[in-house]
Amino acid sequence: MTQRVVVVGAGLAGAKVAESLRARGYAGSLVVLGAEPVRPYERPPLSKGYLQGSDERESVFVHPEAWYDEHDVDLRPDATVTSLDLASGHVVDAGGGRTAFDRLVLATGSAPRGLDVPGAELEGVVTLRTLADSDRLRARLSEARRVVVVGGGWIGLEVAAAARAAGCEVTVVVRGAAPLLGVLGPRMAGMFAALHRERGVELRTRSEVRALLPARRSGSLDGTAVGGVELLDGTVLPADLVVVGVGARPRVALAEDAGLVVGDGVHVDAHLRTSDPRVLAVGDLAAVAHPFLGHRVRVEHWDAALHHGETVAATVLGADEPYDRLPYFFTDQYDLGMEYTGWTGPEGGTDVVVRGDEDARELVAFWTRDGRVVAGMNVNVWDVVDDLQALVRSRAVVPPERLADTSVPIADLAG
C-alpha cells in the first residue's frame, strides 16, 4: 500500500499528478516540491495571452491557492531538490531536508538553452521559461524599440508576435531556410514565414549569431546592456532586447545522478515507470515507450503535461492504463490559431496534402506516409482534432484527392 507519493517539480505536470491521484481516491500522503516561489502554473500563456496582457495573472495558475489545503496536498514552493537517495527512499533538498517516499514522480521539466557566444551575459538578453521570465519580458516589451529574436521555433514566433503587438521593430534570426522548417516542412513553414513578414517582422534566414554586442552610451561602450546582434556574415542588427528561443534541454541531472536510465529525457515505459519501478517521470522530462507509435517519444508540449498525471495515478493505484495519447500542441499568432496532432517522427518520408484555403489560412493539412495520415494540423478551422486523431489511429490508406476534398467530412476519411 503506497503511503506517500512525492512529486519533484511543481509545474503543470506535477500539479496534475496530485489532482489525478486525489480524483481517483488516493488517500495517502502527497507532497509536491517546486523550485519556484509560486504555486503551479501553465506555461502556454507565458508566450501568448499573458505576455500580451490579455490574460490576467491569476488565470495562469493550475488551481486556486486554497485547492492544495482543501485536497490535503503538501505543496512546498521554493524547495529545490538537489539529489535522490533511492537506496533509502528519500529526496534531499537544498536546505538538507530529507523527504521520504514510497513512490516518487519526477516532473522537473526542461531548461531553456542559451547562446554560447560572446556577450550572452549582457543585460537585455533573455529567455522565456518561467512566470518570472514572462513578467520581465512583458515589462521590457513595453520599453523596447528594437527586438531581435534568436530562434524560429514556436516560442520565438509567439514572442515575435507579442513584440509586434507591443509596437516593437522585430527581427527573427533563423538558422534554416524558414522558421519551423524541421517541424512542418517547407510548405507549411512558408505559410508561417509569410504571416510574420506580412506583420512587419524581418526574417533573417540561414543566419547564425556570432556575438551579442554591448550598447553605446554617449559615444562609448556601455559594457553592460545589449545593443546589437552580430551575425556570422558580419551583419549587425541593432537591438535593445534580445530574446533567445533556441530550444530546451530536459532536466535529467537528478535522474542520471541517481542511476536511472536517461537519454533524450528519462526513459519510461508506457505506464510512465522509470528503470526503478518506484519512480515515475512525467511532462517534458519523460521519454515514453509509446504503444501506438511504436517507439520512444518525448513531447515538450502542454498536452503531455496535462494528461500524464492520469497515467501516473492509474499506475500508482494498480490500474493497467498505458499512456497512448497522440502528441498535440497549439499556437496563437496574430489572427492565426492552429492545432497539431500526431507524430511524423524523425525518419522523414512524409507528403503534405492540404484541404481548404491556403491563401486565407483556413485549412487542414495532412502529413502522410505510404498513404496513411500520421499527423494533421488545423489552421483557423475548429472542432476537428478528435476526427484527425481518429484518422491517424485508423492507419487507413486514403487517396490524396479524397483528403483534399472539402465535401468529404474528416470523420468519414477513416471509413
Q: Is residue 121 part of a domain?
A: yes
pLDDT score, position 348: 74
- Nearest Cα neighbor of 367 from 242, 148, 233, 186 is 186
Do 208 and 263 lie in a common domain? no
Do 132 and 240 lie in a common domain? yes
- Nearest Cα neighbor of 128 from 216, 286, 245, 24 is 245
Do 366 and 273 lie in a common domain? no
pLDDT score, position 113: 95
Q: Is residue 105 part of a domain?
A: yes
- Domain containing 95 equals 4-111+248-316
- Rounded to two decimals, what is the model's pTM? 0.94
pLDDT score, position 357: 97
CATH number assigned to the domain comprising residue 386: 3.30.390.30
pLDDT grade for 222, boundaries at 50, 70 and 90: low
Given 244, 270, 285, the domain boundary residue is 244
Do 309 and 376 lie in a common domain? no
Q: Is residue 104 part of a domain?
A: yes
pLDDT score, position 220: 53
The percent of residues in the chain predicted with pLDDT above 70, rounded, is: 98
Coil, strand, or helix at residue 239? coil
pLDDT digits (tens, 9 = 90+) for 169-185: 999 999 999 999 999 99
Q: Is residue 194 part of a domain?
A: yes
Number of domains present in the structure of the chain: 3
Residue with cell 502556454: 44
72: Cβ contacts below 8 Å, ≥ 6 apart: 22, 30
CATH number assigned to the domain comprising residue 276: 3.50.50.60
pLDDT digits (tens, 9 = 90+) for 30-78: 999 999 999 999 999 999 999 999 999 999 999 999 999 999 999 999 9
- Nearest Cα neighbor of 152 from 238, 237, 233, 245 is 245
Residue with cell 518570472: 132
Overall average pLDDT of the 193-218 stretch: 94
Overall average pLDDT of the 386-394 stretch: 97
212: Cβ contacts below 8 Å, ≥ 6 apart: 115, 117, 118, 119, 120, 122, 125, 226, 228, 229, 230, 242
Do 394 and 305 lie in a common domain? no
Do 191 and 297 lie in a common domain? no
pLDDT score, position 134: 97
pLDDT digits (tens, 9 = 90+) for 187-199: 999 999 999 999 9
CA distance 311 to 304: 11
Coil, strand, or helix at residue 164? helix
